[in-house]
Structure 1
Amino acid sequence: MSTPNIRLNELRTRIVKLNSEIDVQLEVLKKLQSDRSLVLREMNAVLDPFARLPLEISSEIFVHCVDKPAANPGALQVPLLLLNICHSWTNLALSTTNLWTTIDVTFPCSRGLKRLLPIWFQRARNRKLSVCLSNGKFHGDLDVLDVVWNHGQQLKYLELRQAPDDELNAPEPIDIWGGRTPLPLSSLTTLVIGGMVKGQLVSLPIIRLLRLAPNLLECFIDATRVPLFFTDPDLMHLTLRRLVVGKPGKRLLSLPFLEALSLPMIEVDDHALIEFFKRSSPPLRELVLGNAPAFDTLKECLHLVPDLQTFEIWWQIGSAEATLFFKALIDSPTLLLNLKTLIIHLYNAPAGESVSESFWTTFCAGVRTRAAQHSTCIRIFRKRNLNASSTPPSDALSAFKELAQLAGVRIGEVVTDLQIQ
């Protein structure tokens, strides 16, 4: 073999050996860098007070970072934001299942959310879920609906919120299930329906939702501006405890275990209200009436719910119905016998109509009697802007001040110079 060839082989052998040594040194360097990262992480853990907290407390802190679920959450919102801080925070966020139990899905959905949603629910594992479906144009995102309803057995809170849209005002059925056959929502305890105009509300399958949720405890329906056609008297729901709606329909369904009913600031159909109480005989503990019915209706309803503990009502100053109610507090000791809290909202009499002194006398006497005999906590509220006809006379003002000194009586915004909260 010639000398040049020998020299070439030697150089090649030398290169192979050097490459081998470089590989060894790279492995050593890689090991040293890894060791350094571990040491730095351990040092940071010593210096970082958050890292020294028990995992249960750290997880709870993370959960409290979720103030209100963002619509279609992104990388800059909790909990996704917590995944981008450091390795330990990422691990903690992924292991904190409660971070992933709540989500607000706004339609139409982005591609990113469609990919994220299955992963999101997977991180929640077997925890109960709270889901808000907003904007109601479900037909374009059937794959998103599939993901949601595939986890329907885990839903404990469901909110359906629709932005008003003239296009959807026609009473066409709103398909919240995307054409699939709905399965029972056995874990659902709270149903919220809001932001819908008349056509949308009528077309929403509310009764069907109630039938699918046999363990529902609370139902809130924002229908203060439109009639609510809530008319299936054959449906008896055995678990619903709290129903808050706008205007009631001709016949409410039977709710024999209802504990709280709130009908704020709406007209109440007297006959429908009595019929509902008679049919359901609910163990009502809390009743809110925005516009008081006729006194005979109210009295009959109150006698049908003897276990009532909280009663809130709006009265027009000087009205005959209000006078009869306060007089009944004096003359009927068995009325509202178990009441613990009475909240009275007074609003102005019509301009030009005078309010008799007897109204204020009866009002003060009724409140005093109820507070003294039954130890009821009474709260009285009144608009600050008083018209001339609704201003209490001087003796009534004195009576108000005396009432304010009674234990259990709280008067707020009754007159401009008396502000007791």
Structure 2
Amino acid sequence: MSIEELQAHIEQLSAEITLQKDVLRQLERSKCAAQRQLNALRDPISQLPLEISSEIFLQCLPHGPRDPMAGKAPQLLMNICSGWTSIALSNPALWDKIDLDFPGTQVLRLWAERAGIRPLSIVLRGALDEPVAGVLAQYATHIRHLELYGMQYLHVLNSNLSVGSLCFLRALKVGPFVEGQSASLADVMALLRFAPNLVECTIDISIRNRSFPVQDLVLPSLEFLDGAVLQHLTLPSLNTLFATSGPISNQSLLLLFQRCSPPLQILALGYQNEADFPTLETGLRLVPSLT
């Protein structure tokens, strides 16, 4: 054969190989579909009333938003057969706990849509960019539990929210960020303003510009606080305070207790200035509920 003939023959063989690969892929897809149909016919769960099968699926879910399987279990249930997929998609309660190492908005939006009107628990890790903030803002009134890790751009989220956006948020945790990253006091306070009905709050991040003037804020329902944001807060329901991760002066504690006399029972402090212990003692006398 000539060079030209060999080249033409190789091209023909390549085309036939590509065609056979396409045929093989199609056969694999057909086999997978047939296997799913067979699984559905053999599966007793698919024959149960939807109320019962849905409850069985709910019992398969991990307990608590911090469980590493919380963001995987529903998808695993959908991988069995078409019957299980239908059951999973018809049950919004399977999708209201979202736990993502965040690559983009598609999965976040998909899970939130599948959850319908259910209260959402969302745990996100990664870059808090404009598209992610947009999705969070879209479903803000559905969010009851929100944890943000490594998302240092709080101002991006704040710019997408409006007054009352997070009015149903009960638990918030921010941080820790990547080492060396921080958020401004103004951004932290702005986020708290969007969530006036918080019950639990953890701010585990480095805060800069603490001396920057910000407006004081009352959080009437807050019972648990872990973080070093005290000097601008009034917390009349505060039950537990952990102030171990950042600089909190005894004077800040005294002023907090003077402002609202909270029913504090648990208090954990980090390093304190020994020379200022009289101020701490004065403050503690204002919270006789402390145990």
Same fold per superposition (TM over 0.5): yes
Among 62, 75, 82, which residue is 1:64 paired with?
A: 62
Aligned equivalent of 2:182, options 174, 187, 200: 200
In the TM superposition, what whole-angstrom CA distance separates every residue of 1:208-233 from its partner, at most 9, and x where no partner exists?
2221112111110113x666839646
- The structural deviation recorded for 1:100 is 0.9
* Paired amino acid for 1:288: A
Change (3 A) 1:189 1:137: closer
1:305 Cα deviation from its structure 2 partner? 1.0
Corresponding residue to 1:122 among 109, 113, 116: 113
Residue 162 (structure 1) aligns with:
150
* 2:85 match: 90
Larger Rg: 1
| Corresponding residue SS for 1:273 | helix
Q: State how far apart, in whole Å, the 2-side matches of 1:241 and 1:162 are.
A: 25
Sort the Cα spacing of 1:292 and 1:200 in 2 relative to 1 into closer, same or farther, 3 A.
closer
Change (3 A) 1:132 1:228: farther
1:176 is the counterpart of 2:171: no
How far off is 1:87 after superposition?
3.0
The answer for the alignment partner of 2:198 in structure 1 is: 216
Q: Displacement of 1:193 after TM fit?
A: 0.9
Q: 1:237 to 1:137 in 2, by over 3 A?
A: closer
Partner secondary structure for residue 298 of structure 1: helix
Change (3 A) 1:293 1:278: farther
Cα deviation 1:67-115 (Å, max 9, x = unaligned): 3267xx6xxx432121110233223322332221122344552xxx52x
Secondary structure of 1:240's partner?
Answer: coil
User: What residue is the counterpart of 1:273 in the other structure?
Assistant: 253
Structure 1: give runs of 5+ residues left out of the alignment: 1-36, 309-338, 340-421
2:94 counterpart (89, 94, 99) = 99
* Aligned partner (choices 282, 297, 312) of residue 262 of structure 2: 282
Number of aligned positions between the proteins: 247
Summarize the Cα distance change of 1:228–1:245 in structure 2 as closer, same or farther, 3 Å threshold: farther
Deviation for aligned residue 1:132: 2.9
The Cα of 1:278 is off from its aligned counterpart by: 0.8
CA distance in 1, matches of 2:123, 2:134: 15
- Indicate conservation of the 8 Å contact 1:265/1:291, yes or no: no
Aligned partner of 1:238 among 220, 223, 243? 220
| Pair 1:135-2:126 in alignment | yes
Alignment RMSD: 3.5
Query: Aligned residues: percent identity?
Result: 30
Asked if the contact 1:292/1:298 (under 8 Å) is kept, the reply is: no
Would you say 1:150 and 2:138 are equivalent positions?
yes
1:78 counterpart = 2:66: no
* Alignment match, 1:55: 53
SS at match of 2:222: coil
Q: Secondary structure at the match of 1:89?
A: helix
Separation in 2, partners of 1:276, 1:214: 18
Q: Which string of whole-angstrom CA distances, capped at 9 and with x for unpartnered residues, describes residues 294-352 of structure 1?
A: 442333222211112xxxxxxxxxxxxxxxxxxxxxxxxxxxxxx3xxxxxxxxxxxxx
| 8 Å Cα contact 1:131/1:159 also seen in 2 | yes
In structure 1, what is the Cα distance between the partners aligned to 2:184 and 2:246? 18
What are the ranges of 5 or more consecutive residues in structure 2 without an aligned counterpart? 1-36
Distance in 2 between residues matched to 1:119 and 1:135, nearest whole Å = 18
Q: 2-side partners of 1:232 and 1:242: how far apart? A: 22
Counterpart position of 1:256: 236
* TM value normalised by structure 2: 0.70
| TM-score under structure 1 length normalisation | 0.50
- The equivalent residue for 1:307 is 289
Cα distance change, pair 181–245 in 1 and its aligned pair in 2 (3 A): closer
Equivalent in the alignment of 1:387: none
